[in-house]
């Protein structure tokens, strides 16, 4: 461990990182030691928030260690910290109330030995920088009463920018702007250099392939505009290569997972649009291995998003962020599922649905779709989009969002290039996919008496979803592809169970579901008559 040098603000809050920081033996710009913090004192609470915001102004963030002296030794003469007040979610929520952007705060409680025996708990807190290059702006006044009967004091005001300058916390002054702008210029230059290097690397690869007599591979890059990306994706899929597919997926989804580990969800939607465009291309023109390769990569990304507790409500800022990240994936899965319905890609539809999500070794969801719906609802992010194009939908937030994504990203609806003509067809196919995924998930669940599905289409008119039930009754090919392990009697049982839940759910939305369509009822009667009685 070093005994001198500069702080490396890498976001870690493990025990080794704590020892590394304490061994520095003194405070630095990115390191602040506090002997204790009495949160019953209003001034201390506000000052701590101010210090964390200041650390966030640094290029790589900074650390606050609570429970140690200025030289990094344990503050044995001070009151022990109240550990639950230093929880990451608690600190994130408190700081988020005062600034205008995403807050990245991580914390951990560690135990250090006392000189005369015993242990003392110490809090290690990392306050990371915002996604952009500029410090966050204060949006709420930070004030406190220093003592009973004393005049109100203001620690910071709306519109101010709190920064860390040396080992002090202060407000942004003119002399600090050059430092911020220099940081911004350096980032632009680095990004431009990386872009040029990546382009040169692709050109070199193409030249090498040409020299070897091979067919040059069209490069695939998540930074391409969507039209160009879709063309490149089609060339890749037509090659039939899974290896080249993975050459794109591994680093792209790896970068998404790295963002997740930093709680940086900004910009993920743009990358997801491209990955799902690739999935749509593989579904329509590729082979099963290619499609499954894309879906496997997406599932790895989905599972890399940190779990949130299995509670009735999960509405802390970090929980809402994670639920929103799952929701972004969910609505695109719906868009892809709607495409599968329209193009009758039943095997791919089943593969899309059956990505289980494990909560514990003994409890989980048969499909990630059910997990995403549940998590988004508990975090209060499952709301209809604020867009006039959804005015015709009074509910069904998932379906509303999926239709908007499909309209906004035409590469996810290559069979419906005309946006005006696409809207109704999209909505109907999304409702039919909604029913089909519910049926598939329930057909494989390990919790047969539970609802391992949620029929969002029950919030709309039943006639939009009815073709899904008709399909099962009239197409043996589709039925076998969707339910390869069930006989007809078992399929009927699953459909009746899911339909019953959808009908009951519809009572909360004007009761627009009445009975299964006639074609299915006739088929179910025929199946019953052909089934031997036990």
337 belongs to a structural domain = no
Mean pLDDT of the region 18-40 = 93
58 belongs to a structural domain = yes
Of 120, 149, 172, which residue sits at a domain end?
A: 172
- 180 and 168 within one domain: no
Lookup result for tokens 């299995």: 310
Structural domain count, the chain: 2
* pLDDT tier for residue 531 given thresholds of 50, 70 and 90: confident
- 90 and 51 within one domain: yes
323 belongs to a structural domain = no
DSSP secondary structure of 171-205: E--HHHHHHHHHHHHHHHHHHHHHHHHHHHHHHHH
- 96 and 179 within one domain: no
DSSP code of 259? Answer: H
* pLDDT tier for residue 2 given thresholds of 50, 70 and 90: very low
364 belongs to a structural domain = no
- 181 and 54 within one domain: no
Average pLDDT, the chain: 86
352 belongs to a structural domain = no
Query: Burial, 32: exposed, middle or buried (Cβ in 10 Å; 0-12, 13-18, 19+)?
Result: buried
Q: Give me the residues paired with residue 125 across strands.
A: 64, 107
- 186 and 44 within one domain: no
- 69 and 51 within one domain: yes
* pLDDT tier for residue 202 given thresholds of 50, 70 and 90: low
Residue 457: is its pLDDT beyond 50? Answer: yes
Closest listed residue to residue 398, CA positions, set 420, 378, 376:
376
Of 159, 190, 216, which residue sits at a domain end?
A: 216
- 102 and 64 within one domain: yes
**N- to C-terminal Cα distance for the chain?**
74
Q: What is the pLDDT of residue 472?
A: 96
Residue 449: is its pLDDT beyond 80? Answer: no
Of 162, 188, 216, which residue sits at a domain end?
A: 216
Tokens of 388: 């006039």
- 129 and 188 within one domain: no
Cα 57 to Cα 167: distance, rounded to the nearest angstrom: 13
- 20 and 163 within one domain: yes
Lookup result for tokens 């890399």: 304
Q: What is the pLDDT of residue 4?
A: 42
Which residues have a Cβ under 8 Å from the Cβ of 229 and sit 6 or more positions away? 220, 221, 222, 274, 277, 411
Q: Which residue has the higher pLDDT, 318 or 161?
A: 161
* pLDDT tier for residue 347 given thresholds of 50, 70 and 90: very high
Q: Give me the residues paired with residue 28 across strands.
A: 31
Q: What is the pLDDT of residue 161?
A: 87
- 202 and 85 within one domain: no
Q: Which residue has the higher pLDDT, 27 or 266?
A: 27
Strands 31-34 and 62-66, by their bridges, are parallel
Mean pLDDT of the region 518-522 = 95
* pLDDT tier for residue 1 given thresholds of 50, 70 and 90: very low
24 belongs to a structural domain = yes
* pLDDT tier for residue 321 given thresholds of 50, 70 and 90: confident
List helix spans (H) across 343-455.
346-353, 368-378, 397-408, 419-444
Does residue 133 contact residue 114 with C-beta atoms inside 8 Å? no
CATH of the domain at 83: 3.30.950
350 belongs to a structural domain = no
- 184 and 148 within one domain: no
* Gyration radius from the chain CA atoms: 28
27 belongs to a structural domain = yes
Closest listed residue to residue 470, CA positions, set 432, 428, 511:
432
Q: Any idea which of 31-40, 192-201, 450-459 has the lowest mean pLDDT?
A: 192-201
Which range of residues forms the domain containing residue 69? 15-172
Strands 104-113 and 142-144, by their bridges, are unpaired
Q: Any idea which of 94-108, 197-211, 330-344 has the lowest mean pLDDT?
A: 197-211
In this predicted model, what pLDDT tens digit does every residue of 166-180 receive, in sequence order? 888 877 765 666 666
Mean pLDDT of the region 61-77 = 94
Percent of the chain with pLDDT over 90: 53
Does residue 282 contact residue 291 with C-beta atoms inside 8 Å? yes
Helix (H, G, I), strand (E, B) or coil at 220: coil
Does residue 368 contact residue 359 with C-beta atoms inside 8 Å? no
Mean pLDDT of the region 30-37 = 94
Does residue 215 contact residue 205 with C-beta atoms inside 8 Å? no
- 160 and 70 within one domain: yes
Q: Any idea which of 143-152, 262-271, 462-471 has the lowest mean pLDDT?
A: 262-271
C-alpha distances out from residue 217 to 208, 214, 355, 480, Å: 11, 9, 31, 37
Cα 270 to Cα 262: distance, rounded to the nearest angstrom: 18
């Amino acid at each position: 461990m070093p005994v001198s040098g500069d702080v490396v603000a890498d976001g870690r809050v493990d025990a080794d990182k704590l020892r590394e920081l304490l061994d520095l033996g003194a405070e630095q710009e990115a390191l602040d030691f506090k002997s204790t913090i009495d949160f019953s004192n209003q001034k201390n609470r506000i000052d701590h928030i101010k210090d964390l915001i200041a650390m966030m102004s640094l290029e790589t963030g900074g650390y606050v260690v609570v429970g140690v002296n200025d030289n990094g030794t344990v503050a044995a003469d001070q009151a022990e910290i109240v550990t639950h007040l230093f929880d990451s979610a608690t600190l994130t929520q408190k700081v988020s109330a005062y600034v205008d952007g995403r807050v990245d705060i991580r914390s951990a409680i560690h135990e250090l030995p006392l000189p005369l025996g015993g242990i003392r708990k110490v809090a290690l807190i990392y306050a990371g920088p915002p996604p952009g290059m500029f410090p966050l702006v204060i949006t709420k006044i930070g004030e406190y009463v220093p003592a009973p009967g004393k005049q109100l004091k203001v620690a910071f005001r709306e519109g101010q920018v709190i920064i860390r300058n040396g080992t002090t916390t202060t407000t942004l002054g003119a002399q600090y702007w050059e430092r911020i702008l220099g940081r911004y210029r350096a980032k632009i230059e680095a990004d431009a250099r990386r872009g040029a290097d990546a382009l040169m690397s692709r050109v070199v690869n193409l030249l090498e392939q040409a020299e070897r007599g091979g067919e040059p591979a069209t490069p695939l890059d998540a930074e391409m505009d969507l039209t160009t990306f879709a063309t490149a994706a089609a060339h890749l899929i037509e090659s039939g290569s899974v290896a080249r597919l993975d050459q794109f997926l591994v680093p792209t989804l790896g970068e998404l997972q790295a963002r997740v580990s930093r709680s940086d969800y900004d910009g993920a939607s743009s990358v997801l649009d491209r990955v799902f465009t690739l999935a749509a291309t593989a579904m329509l023109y590729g082979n099963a291995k290619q499609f499954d390769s894309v879906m496997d990569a997406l599932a790895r990304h989905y599972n890399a998003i940190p779990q949130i507790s299995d509670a009735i409500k999960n509405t802390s800022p970090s929980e809402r962020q994670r639920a929103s990240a799952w929701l972004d994936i969910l609505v695109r899965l719906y868009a892809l599922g709607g495409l599968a319905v329209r193009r009758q890609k039943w095997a791919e539809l089943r593969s899309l649905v059956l990505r289980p999500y494990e909560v514990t070794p003994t409890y989980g969801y048969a499909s990630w779709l059910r997990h995403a719906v549940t998590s988004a609802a508990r975090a209060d992010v499952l709301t209809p989009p604020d867009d006039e194009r959804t005015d015709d939908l009074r509910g069904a937030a998932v379906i509303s969002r999926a239709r908007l994504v499909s309209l906004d990203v035409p590469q996810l609806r290559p069979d419906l290039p005309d946006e005006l003509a696409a809207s109704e067809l999209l909505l109907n196919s999304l409702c039919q996919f909604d029913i089909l995924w519910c049926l598939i998930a329930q057909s494989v669940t390990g919790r047969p008496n539970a609802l391992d599905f949620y029929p969002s289409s029950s919030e709309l008119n039943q006639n939009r979803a009815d073709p899904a039930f008709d399909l099962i009754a009239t197409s043996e090919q589709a039925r076998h592809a969707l339910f390869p392990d069930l006989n007809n009697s078992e399929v009927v049982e699953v459909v009746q169970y899911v339909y019953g839940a959808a009908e009951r759910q519809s009572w909360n939305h004007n009761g627009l579901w009445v009975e299964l369509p006639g074609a299915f009822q006739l088929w179910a009667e025929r199946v019953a008559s052909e089934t031997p009685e036990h």
